Amino acid sequence: MSNPLKLGLAGCGSVSQRGVLPNLVQEDTKQWAVLTAVMDPIPGRAKATAEKFGVPLWFEDYDQMLAADIDAVTIASPIGVHYEQAMKAIAVGKHVHLNKTMTTTKAEADEVIEAARKMGVVVVASPGNCRTAPFKRIQEIISSGEIGRLYWAETGTAGGGHEFETFRAGDDVLSNVNPAWYYRRPGGGPMYDMCVYALHNITGILGPARRVTGFSGIGLKERSFKGEVIPVEMDDNTHLVLDFGDDVYCLVYGSNSFSGPARAFASCFFSGSSGAILYDRTGLQVWGRDIPDGHREEHPVGAMPFVTGPHLELPERHVYSDIMHMVDCVLNGKEPVVSAEHARHVIEIIELGYKAAETGQTQTLTTTFEMHFW
């Protein structure tokens, strides 16, 4: 296939307006991919988006966009419709990038992977930022034995709620984006929306988990947005324990509560018999009995692919990196590093984590994946 790839964007809500669209319309992107169409079912939003970002085609119907002259779609719709939209795109031969989380169940993920295989199309499933230098370096330190035998890890995400995002404060069709779906089934809740990052990170370092157990519930039964009361249907306070085998465990939390500076988003901590590692916004903090002064700080070099120039300053650049990875795979016949198989494993953890919390019984995971760095 010749350059540039013609892209369609499904979903013109918050993540697209804040970051996906500003990244995709930069001049340096256009030699590889051109945003050709946008789609959103909210009346007026797709048209206003096309006018703002200079996109030739706009649609309020997803099937109509798929019938247009595009080669691939990036799906930034609410998580609960990812499966349906991905399957429709694959069925008509479109390559697909899916924002997190790829689907809501393992069974859906299985179908997406098998359909893509049969049709010979590329599927890239965010988030791929765990494939970058800091995570590779953590894996190297653990494997070297510098912190001794690994005992346990901790990771997770907490956020006060999407209704408080300043982006949504406006009254126009582009910024007045109702966050109600984040609290509904299917696809709502912090596990699918936020903790997916932490789960990709930890499994990207330690490999596939083997078992999961935990507790899960709802803290606030109602939310509100601009005077509208939003009933909370989906669990918003989930705490899991992952078993990675060989008596190595990980504590994972996904909560719609306030985290503050003490818990950086999707940061991870590793405790070994003679040392520990913390990864957060400042870089890597490594402690150990054999380290001079007992501590050192590292800043592994290796940014996300394609994130250069203006993209370094734009929001959601990790999403842009994954989209461009899909473009690169299509144009150059590469196998995705940001794989649907890894996404499926994380989805199974979430799905069976909820089941473990509901039944009180530890669940055995069945999926696996191969980890490759950029």
Which pLDDT belongs to residue 1?
Answer: 59
Question: Which stretches of the chain are assigned E, i.e. beta strand?
Answer: 5-10, 33-39, 57-59, 72-75, 95-98, 123-125, 150-158, 211-217, 222-225, 228-231, 237-243, 249-255, 268-272, 275-280, 283-288, 295-298, 363-364
Q: In whole numbers, what is the pLDDT of the chain averaged over residues?
A: 96
Segment 202-225 shows an average pLDDT of 97
In the chain, what's the furthest Cα-to-Cα distance?
63
Q: Which CATH number fits domain 5-128+317-332: 3.30.9.10, 3.40.50.720, 3.40.50.300, 2.40.128.30?
A: 3.40.50.720
**Residue ranges of the chain that CATH labels 3.40.50.720:** 5-128+317-332
Asked if 325 and 80 touch (Cβ cutoff 8 Å), the reply is no
- Residue 187 pLDDT greater than 90, yes or no: yes
Rounded to whole angstroms, how far apart are CA atoms 162 and 168? Answer: 9
Rounded to whole angstroms, how far apart are CA atoms 22 and 314? Answer: 7
Q: Percent of the chain, pLDDT > 70? A: 99
Instruction: Give pLDDT tens digits for 136-145.
Output: 999 999 999 9
pTM of the model: 0.97
Q: How confident is the model at residue 229 (pLDDT cuts 50, 70, 90)?
A: very high
- Residue 372 pLDDT greater than 90, yes or no: no
Which pLDDT belongs to residue 279?
Answer: 95
Which pLDDT belongs to residue 373?
Answer: 78
Q: How confident is the model at residue 361 (pLDDT cuts 50, 70, 90)?
A: very high
- Plot region of 54 (φ>0 → left; ψ -120 to 50 → alpha; else → beta): left
Which pLDDT belongs to residue 262?
Answer: 72
The gap from C-alpha 122 to its chain's centroid, in whole angstroms, comes to 17
**What is the C-alpha R_g of the chain?**
20
Which pLDDT belongs to residue 202?
Answer: 97
Would you tell me how many other CB atoms lie within 10 Å of the CB of residue 328?
A: 20
Residues 6+ apart with CB under 8 A from 112: 83, 86, 87, 90, 102, 103, 123, 340
Segment 291-305 shows an average pLDDT of 91
Q: How confident is the model at residue 2 (pLDDT cuts 50, 70, 90)?
A: low
Which pLDDT belongs to residue 160?
Answer: 87
Segment 218-223 shows an average pLDDT of 97
Instruction: Give pLDDT tens digits for 322-347.
Output: 999 999 999 999 999 999 999 999 99
DSSP 120: T
133-302+339-364 has CATH 3.40.50.300 classification: no
Residues 6+ apart with CB under 8 A from 155: 198, 199, 201, 202, 250, 251, 252, 266, 267, 268, 269
Rounded to whole angstroms, how far apart are CA atoms 162 and 179? Answer: 6
- Residue 46 pLDDT greater than 70, yes or no: yes
Asked if 287 and 275 touch (Cβ cutoff 8 Å), the reply is yes
**Residue ranges of the chain that CATH labels 3.30.360.10:** 133-302+339-364
| Buried/exposed 279-306: b ≥16 CB within 10 Å, e otherwise | bbeeebebbbeeeeeeeeebeeeeebbb
Rounded to whole angstroms, how far apart are CA atoms 35 and 102? Answer: 21
Q: Which strands form 5-10's sheet, in the order they lie side by side?
A: 57-59, 33-39, 5-10, 72-75, 95-98, 123-125
Which pLDDT belongs to residue 303?
Answer: 73
Asked if 322 and 334 touch (Cβ cutoff 8 Å), the reply is no
Instruction: Give pLDDT tens digits for 63-106.
Output: 999 999 999 999 999 999 999 999 999 999 999 999 999 999 99
How big is the CA angle at 299 (ends 298 and 301), to the nearest 5 degrees? 135
Asked if 31 and 3 touch (Cβ cutoff 8 Å), the reply is yes
Task: List the end-to-end C-alpha distance of the chain, in Å, as a whole number.
Answer: 23
Would you tell me how many other CB atoms lie within 10 Å of the CB of residue 194?
A: 22
Instruction: Give pLDDT tens digits for 102-159.
Output: 999 999 999 999 999 999 999 999 999 888 899 999 999 999 999 999 999 999 999 9
The gap from C-alpha 143 to its chain's centroid, in whole angstroms, comes to 26
Encoded tokens for 129: 């930022």
